[in-house]
Amino acid sequence: MTGMPVDSLGNPVTLDDAASLAHVDDFVQGLLRYEPRAARLLEIADQEPGALVQAYAAALQMFAETPGAPAAAGPHVARAAASAARATPREQRFVAAIAAWVAGDIGRALALHEEQAAEFPRDLVSVKLAQYHLFNRGDAPGMLRLARAVEPAAADVPQLHGMLAFGWEQCHFLREAEAAAQQALAGEPGEPWAHHALAHVMLTEGRIAEGQQFMAEMAPHWAGLNSFMRTHNWWHAALFAIELEQFDAALRLYDEQVWGVLPDYSQDQINAVSLLARLELAGAEVGPRWQDLAQWLAPRVADQVLAFLDLQYLYGLARAGRPEADRLLANLAQRADHDCTWREVALPAAQGLLAHARGQHAEAAHALARALPRLREIGGSHAQRDLFQQIYIDALARGGQLAEAQNLVQQQARQLPASGRLQRQGRSLALALGIA
């Protein structure tokens, strides 16, 4: 490998043109830092046949999270395979992992990423992609285990500590999560994934005002990020406003920061759906925003890429009164015929969400009760999945199951005494039951 170019993490890279290294580093650092420069790699994808460049290009296509993404990634996978014989072992394994992802074999992809972490622990792109897959499977221990495995070799990289922080938080080790996030910020104060992990910790611990202030202080760092990280961190900021019942502030964040940055992107869309739903559940009026959002959700009816995404597309369409919600449910049911997680978790959740959006509260509560115990299996974070718990509680209350709703809300209110939303909901249910 003597004389080979190396990326910004010290990994040798096989290239036909040494000038391509700048684009490789744009991808590596852009991916880890959530910066749009990662997409610059596509500028050289037609000229640079190197296996790693082509695999990175395929990954960029797959991040679209659309049914057409594998077809768009396919030519890059083919070019990567054609160049793999002269690539390094690290690059060859990475190409195989991306090819497995494109083929829909996530288990195989994860096995290869784990091998990569053991043999080439500074390949943090591989670790990051593995965490993405593990997150979508609801495997938080896997996310943490993989990041810890490479820590001795990559402890100098602030972004790794952000990855560790989120893994710790999703496994409910909040002190460890906060320590890892602070270590990331000591190395790089603008590390957005560490901001994100700390937002999770502070929300979970009920440090509502502190979390709101922290995110406001960190917000200047987000302006140049890709749409996912920018809008998602603002989404977290809006959650603190909702807990404090600052609905005008939360709606302003929706209008100015959360929605409209890249409206055709899956993650921006589910941020918007989730925020509007939470605002309504908390008692806010959202006006015509559902109708505006739904025009971007309507093309998603045949997606069925990730169940976690489909559920939120469906709810947004239903809240807007769009008939596409029924078509999406029918397509989801077809996918459920061939996948037990979709059948046993996603389908009842979808039925419950559609019923709730249409005011059929008893039916909604019944269906959601079947899905909630296993909802982790379809991915999403604790904070994101809490939306479905909130909808379930609302369905219970509106469907007349006040005792069950009160039981759930009061437990949460006791754990989060600073949440005005939960305190008000708890008082309202207690009054209705004659126990206030």
% residues pLDDT > 70 (the chain): 100
8 Å CB contact between 52 and 94 = yes
Other CB atoms within 10 Å distance of the CB of residue 433: 12
pLDDT category at 436 given cuts 50, 70, 90 is confident
174-179 CB contacts, 8 Å cutoff, 24+ apart: 174/201, 174/204, 174/205, 177/201
Q: Is the pLDDT of residue 1 over 80?
A: no
Q: Is the pLDDT of residue 55 over 90?
A: yes
- pLDDT average, residue stretch 175-196: 98
Other CB atoms within 10 Å distance of the CB of residue 85: 8
Per residue in 334-379, pLDDT (tens digit) is: 999 999 999 999 999 999 999 999 999 999 999 999 999 999 999 9
Dist. CA 271–CA 433, nearest whole Å: 34
Dist. CA 131–CA 150, nearest whole Å: 13
Dist. CA 29–CA 60, nearest whole Å: 14
Amino acid at 146: L
8 Å CB contact between 261 and 231 = yes
Q: Is the pLDDT of residue 434 over 60?
A: yes
Number of helical H runs and strand E runs in the chain: 23, 0
- pLDDT average, residue stretch 395-413: 97
The DSSP symbol for 257 reads I
Dist. CA 401–CA 397, nearest whole Å: 5
- pLDDT of 102 reads 98
| Start-to-end C-alpha separation, the chain | 73
Write out the E strands in 374-436. none
- pLDDT of 270 reads 98
Q: Is the pLDDT of residue 2 over 60?
A: no
Dist. CA 93–CA 358, nearest whole Å: 49
Backbone angles phi, psi at 88, to 5 degrees: -75, 165
Concatenated DSSP letters for 121-160?
A: TT-HHHHHHHHHHHHHTT-HHHHHHHHHHHHHHHTT-HHH
8 Å CB contact between 238 and 275 = yes
The DSSP symbol for 19 reads G
Q: Where are the domains of the chain?
A: 1-154, 249-400
- What is the chain's mean pLDDT, rounded? 97
pTM confidence score: 0.96
% residues pLDDT > 90 (the chain): 99
Dist. CA 233–CA 235, nearest whole Å: 5
Per residue in 89-136, pLDDT (tens digit) is: 999 999 999 999 999 999 999 999 999 999 999 999 999 999 999 999
Per residue in 218-245, pLDDT (tens digit) is: 999 999 999 999 999 999 999 999 999 9
CA angle 85, 87, 89 (to 5 degrees): 100
Per residue in 270-322, pLDDT (tens digit) is: 999 999 999 999 999 999 999 999 999 999 999 999 999 999 999 999 999 99
Backbone angles phi, psi at 12, to 5 degrees: -60, 145
